[in-house]
Structure 1
Amino acid sequence: MRRYVRFFALAAFLHASLASAQNPIAIVGARLVDGTGTVPVEDSIAVVEGDRIQAAGRRGAVRIPGDATLVDAKGKFLLPGLVDVHCHINQPPDDMKRYWLAQLRWGVTTMRSAGNDKPETVPLFRETRRGAFLAPRAYTAGQGFSVNGPYPGAPVFNPATADEARANVRSLKAQGVDFLKIWMTNPKFSPDVIAAIVDEASKQAIPVVAHVTDVASLHQLAELGVTDFLHNPRDQPVTPDLVAYAKSRKLTFAPTLANMESPWFYYEHPDILGMPTLQDALYPRGRQMLADSRRRDETLSSDLARRKARMREQTYPFIKAMSDAGVRIVTGTDCGAEASQVTPFGHATHRELQMFVEAGMAPLAAIRAATLDAARVIARSEDPDYGSIRAGKAADLLLLDADPIADINNTIRISRVMRAGRWVR
């Protein structure tokens, strides 16, 4: 508890400074990995003015303002802040702010909460984007649509008819949500209800995001115009026809690997589990579950090798085939999900990056998946305001102590984090 008090005191101090004038900041000497997937720039300079990147490039090509505060970043590595397109943060407002701060400390500067958010918390998401308090830039789907809900008592809409579905969509529009979420899990909505949700969302200019784990549901929604998918089809192996279909429809996928692996990953890595920043990023019940020695022993049983192999065969070939073909794969971890409890905010996004590389993506491509490409998915734009280190973009930055291109595990070697032009770590 004392750690939280100190953390909130620091956050309050930093937040108070947001209103004060600040000299430009020049980050000098880092290897610049700008999020676009291009070759990193050695010995770079990045200049931040206010909440924007004023310039970024090699030394000699970027002018440092005379009144700039210099940050010596020689030997360090500068990346855009990370983006997670699949989170859940259905908590009381004060707890939401605490977990958002924990997520920021891990360098996740943008997040999307994909369902189960109560109407009274929707305004908080807008406040994150105007800088009312320290948090990632956050977006919400509000309650979402599910027949049974992802867990007992989940705040979801369960319309029985097409007319009821349309009324639910209009209610979410009135709340001011940023997108809609449909769970395509058994039991599923009837085709006419699904079509009504998607059609009314289009009329209300609200994007639709869908949870899918089977090919039939993927096709059903893609034919209705949905392009943004969480998880991936696992009922059959990926085929060239499915890859070609996804590419032709410009589909995007957040495979949600970290959530699938988290039940055993943190038991296998007690050094990470013991980090204070990791403990702060877990719900209390999740901390209790991961501290339970009997649960640990049962999880790390002889059956674990089979479970690991099954998880990888359901996801890694899909990621490799889709990314090789140019289908957009992005980071979305299911962190904060009430149903699992053990997928932490922040670190899970780094773990997803690592698993992309394990699946066959190059480190630069994996970093782009966690920055610019993930931002493109949320913003529905090829040139989003965040997710890359380029002049005019939001100054959301992650400064590392070790090279993530040489070893993608180095993304957790965090030196500093900047959100909207202010250091938050």
Structure 2
Amino acid sequence: MQAFRWGSFGARWRRLVLGALFMAGVGSAAAKVTALVGGQLIDGWGGAPVPHSVILIEGERISAVGTVDSLVVPAGAEIIDTRGMSLLPGLWDCHVHTALLGHADYAHWHGTYQPRFASEIMPAAARQLLQAGVTSAMDLGAPLADSIAVRDNIAAGKIPGPTLYVSGPFIQHAAPKGREHYRWGVSGAADARAKVGQLADAGVNVIKLIDQDQMTAAEVEAVIDEAHRRGLPVIAHAHRPEEIRRGLKYGVDRFEHTGLSTAPGYPEDVLTALKERTADMSRGLLFWCPTVEGFLNYEDNITNQLHIEDPAWEVEIPADIAADIRASLARPGWLPYYQITPVRSKTSATKIAQLMEAGVMPLIGTDSGIPMKFHNQSTWRELDAWVNRLGIDPMTAIRAATYWPAVSMKVDADYGTVSPGKYADIIAVKGDVMRYIDLLQRVDIVVKHGRRVK
């Protein structure tokens, strides 16, 4: 064993570091031990960042965490020099759509590209997310067989991507015509239970409800009860007050979006019900994924179109599909999808403040894949909007993208923090992300399950 000391950077050490940095490909996985040495660690637990950190990785998992003054680096370890970098747990994006790539016209997209979802489109989205530092993601709304196949191919190492948690199709009362492949209607409580059972038997990780205010009360209750009986959390849209009321009444585990159109805030009875729910410790935390960046930045996005012009979002996407997406966004200010957004954006900060005051636990999610939202940039832009537009402190935002998502999915024994025994999902970024959160737009190192993939 050899002890690494912060002040001992001699010529021999520098040669070792250079050798590690210039290793070809992703050789980290072949090394018995990998050591990330010297960076500032934000471990996900919420404490002060740890300078001069050392993280030891053996196989897929973290074996030890310390500092250069307290932790011995084993002889023969592959050493990755992270001085001058911020190290974090791999990010989670709690609301993505890998079957979408930012195209403006849903009808055209689904009518044209559905046969290419599993083979080309969803794998491209998964690769982009991983390269952006997203090592875990929740894919909420796609054809069932495609969702399961892509998730399982990632887990088997056949394609690169984040660890995926999938819902398959939405559950609602009546699916819109032409969208039945990713939206399932139910007719009565028995059918609701049967549809949830079909999803559970296929192996989904969560059940997603949408437009539950248009369902019968018996259907909503049946969906949630059957999902919980099968050990699956239920995630529900919160676009309208009655969606929230019904979700709370029957036990939804998490809500999505801020919703409520142009209303200035949530009705008092909804806020009261939220506070009563969050005060009930026996039921655990109530999670909420607001997906708010698109509202806060809408006017900037249509006047300053650099994020659309940037060719980085085309990486991994077949050329014909990329060209179609780009053509659909030629006039971003004309998209019907967003015409009400300038008014809604003025209420977003108030609604977020109301939710946090009511005691919900916010999670970072983006709706990535919807028009103008690209998988290579959605997650960092959401984090940046939380910190620099809403004034949320960086540690709260980071934990909403690391620790709390793992807790919400009951996988915090394996994910969410940089801790011994957990999977080595770690990212590193040059600079201080606690001061400049937007540095996350250029993640320098991505380690997933102990394997360096960037």
2:123 maps to 97
2:51 maps to 42
| Structure 1 residue 289 corresponds to structure 2 residue 323 | no
Distance 2:57 2:51 in 1: 18
Deviations 1:361-414 (A, max 9, x none): 10111111111112222x235x34112111111111111112111122121132
8 Å CA contact 1:23–1:49 kept in 2: the answer is: yes
Match of 1:171 among 198, 215, 221: 198
Q: CA deviation at 1:35?
A: 1.8
Any idea what SS the aligned residue of 1:134 has?
Answer: coil
Q: CA deviation at 1:64?
A: 1.0
Structure-1-length-normalised TM-score:
0.84
1:355 maps to 385
1:404 maps to 433
| Structure 1 residue 256 corresponds to structure 2 residue 296 | no
Any idea what SS the aligned residue of 2:62 has?
Answer: strand
Distance 1:399 1:298 in 2: 38
Distance 2:177 2:367 in 1: 14
1:364 maps to 395
Any idea what SS the aligned residue of 1:364 has?
Answer: helix
Deviations 1:321-359 (A, max 9, x none): 4435653100111112xxx33211141111111121121
Q: CA deviation at 1:46?
A: 1.4
Paired letter, 2:253: T
Map residues 60-139 of structure 1 onto 2, 5 A cutoff.
60-90=69-99, 91-139=117-165
Map residues 309-388 of structure 1 onto 2, 5 A cutoff.
310-313=344-347, 315-323=348-356, 326-336=359-369, 340-357=370-387, 358-377=389-408, 379-380=409-410, 383-388=412-417
For the structure 1 residues 259 and 42, does the alpha-carbon distance in structure 2 shift closer, same or farther, using more than 3 Å as the test? same
- Larger mean CA deviation between 323-332 and 390-399 belongs to 323-332
Q: RMSD over aligned Cα, in angstroms?
A: 2.8
Deviations 1:86-143 (A, max 9, x none): 1112323332222211111111111111122232541331332343432100011111
Q: CA deviation at 1:175?
A: 0.9
1:33 maps to 42
For the structure 1 residues 396 and 274, does the alpha-carbon distance in structure 2 shift closer, same or farther, using more than 3 Å as the test? farther
Deviations 1:149-207 (A, max 9, x none): 47842422101111111111111122111111110267x11111111111221222222
Paired letter, 2:326: R
State which structure, 1 or 2, has the greater radius of gyration over its C-alpha atoms: 2
8 Å CA contact 2:302–2:333 kept in 1: the answer is: no
Structure-2-length-normalised TM-score:
0.79
Distance 1:67 1:205 in 2: 44
Map residues 209-220 of structure 1 onto 2, 5 A cutoff.
209-220=235-246
For the structure 1 residues 423 and 98, does the alpha-carbon distance in structure 2 shift closer, same or farther, using more than 3 Å as the test? same
Distance 1:151 1:389 in 2: 46
How many residue pairs get aligned? The number is: 397
Q: CA deviation at 1:147?
A: 3.6
2:4 maps to none
Any idea what SS the aligned residue of 1:387 has?
Answer: coil
Distance 2:31 2:82 in 1: 20
Any idea what SS the aligned residue of 1:181 has?
Answer: strand
8 Å CA contact 1:258–1:349 kept in 2: the answer is: no
| Structure 1 residue 237 corresponds to structure 2 residue 265 | yes
